[in-house]
Amino acid sequence: MTRPTVFIARQVFGDIVDRLRPHFDVRTHDGDAPLTQPALIAALQGCAGVFITGSEKIDAALLDACPQLKAVCTMAVGYNNIDVPACSAHGVVVTNAPGVLTETTADFGFALMMATARRIAEGERFLREGRWKHWGVDMFAGGDVHGATLGILGMGRIGQAIAKRGHGGFDMKVAYHNRSHLPAESEVSLGATWMTLPELLRAADHLVIVTPYTPETHHLVGAAQLALMKPTATLTNIARGGVVDDAALAEALAAGTIAAAGLDVFEGEPVVNPALLALRNVVLTPHIASASVPTRRAMANLAVDNLLAALGVGPDAGKPPTALNPEVLRS
C-alpha cells in the first residue's frame, strides 16, 4: 500500500518533522519564507496533508487545485488565513494550535504594553544614538502600569492570561469587552468587569487587543474608537493586523489622541505602514508574541499530533486533538 504524502510548508524543527517519517512520505520546503501561492499548489500535488503556519493561504482555489488534500494543520492559533467553510465543503479537516501558546503570548503582550507605557524602546534608541547627556526630571516619563486600568479587547484564553497578570501581579483594575461574558466566578478571580466597547475605550489606561481577526472585527478600532480613548492611554495589538486601522492609529499617535502604541501585528505585514515607522511613540515588533523556543516547539508538536491523527495514525487516529471542523471526519 502506498503511504500518504504530507508537505511541510516551512522550515520546522527537524526532530519534530521526523515524527512523521515512519508513517508518511514527507516532502519539505526548507525555506524560512512562505512559498508563493502557485508554488504551494504545485508542492501540494498528491499530498494528503499539509503542515502550515499563519502565513500560508488555504482558500477554495487551492483546494480545487489539490483534490487529494485531506488535512490542513497549522501551528498557529489564529486561522484567518484558512477558509474553514471551504475546507469543510471539500472534506478537508483543519486543525490549529490553541492552548500551548497562551502563557508565552500573554507574557509578550504584557511586556509590550509595559515597554509602550514606560517608553523603553524610545529610551533605548536615545541612549544608542549617543544623545544621553544627563539624568532628566521628566526624561521619558510615561504612564504607570501598576494600579492603572487594563482594558482587554477579546477575552479568550490569552486575554484571560493577560488579565491574570494585571490583576494578580500589578494590582490593575481589569475591564474587558468580548461577545460573551465570562462566567461570574472567572470575573471574580480575574477582578474583571465587562463593558461595551465604547465604555472600555473610555476607561482603559492601557488597551490590549487580543481578539481574533474576522470580517466582524475588521477595523474594530479605527478613528472613531481611538477618539474615545484618553490622551494618556496606550494601545497594544498582539491580535492580527486589520483589527486596528493602522492609518487611523498613526494619525491618532501623531495628533496626541492617545499617548503611545505597541504593535506586534500589522495590516499587510511584513510591510509596515510608513506613517507608523516615522513615529517615536510606537514600539514595533515583527509578529513574535508566541516566539519562545519551548512554545514554538510545542506549537509545531501539536500540529504534528493533529496531522498524524487526521490521517489515521496513533492513539488519536481519526480524532485530531484540536480540529476546527471535526464534523468532516465524522461524515
Q: Which amino acid is at 118?
A: R
**Would you state the cell numbers that stand for residue 230, as one nine-digit string?**
484618553
Does position 257 bind ligand GLV by CB under 6 A? no
Min dist CB 102 to ligand GLV, Å, is 10
Judged by CB under 6 A, the chain residues 139 through 158 that form the site for ligand GLV are none
Active-site pick, 119, 240, 267, 296: 240
**Nearer to ligand GLV by C-beta: 76 or 112?**
76
| Residue corresponding to grid cell 493602522 | 246
Establish whether 287 is a catalytic residue. yes
Smallest separation (angstroms) from ligand GLV to the CB of 264: 8
- The C-alpha atoms of residue 72 and residue 7 are separated, in whole angstroms, by 10
Site for ligand GLV in 69-108 (CB under 6 A): 76-78, 101
> What SS3 state is found at 79?
coil
DSSP state letters, 95-155: E---STTHHHHHHHHHHHHHHHHTTHHHHHHHHHTT---S--TTTT-----TTSEEEEE--
Q: Does 318 bind ligand GLV (CB under 6 A)?
A: no
Distances (CA, A) of 67 to 60, 61, 96, 327: 11, 11, 21, 19
Instruction: Considering the candidates 269, 280, 327, 330, report the single residue annotated as catalytic.
Output: 269
C-beta of residue 86 within 8 angstroms of C-beta of residue 59 = yes
Tell me the number of residues near ligand GLV by CB under 6 A: 6
Is the Cβ of residue 52 or residue 101 nearer to ligand GLV in the bound state? 101
Question: What is the spatial distance between Cα 34 and Cα 41, in angstroms, rounded to a whole number?
Answer: 12
Residue nearest to ligand GLV (CB): 78
313 scored as a contact of ligand GLV (CB under 6 A): no
Provide the annotated active-site residues. 240, 269, 287
The residue ranges that bind ligand GLV (CB under 6 A) are: 54, 76-78, 101, 290
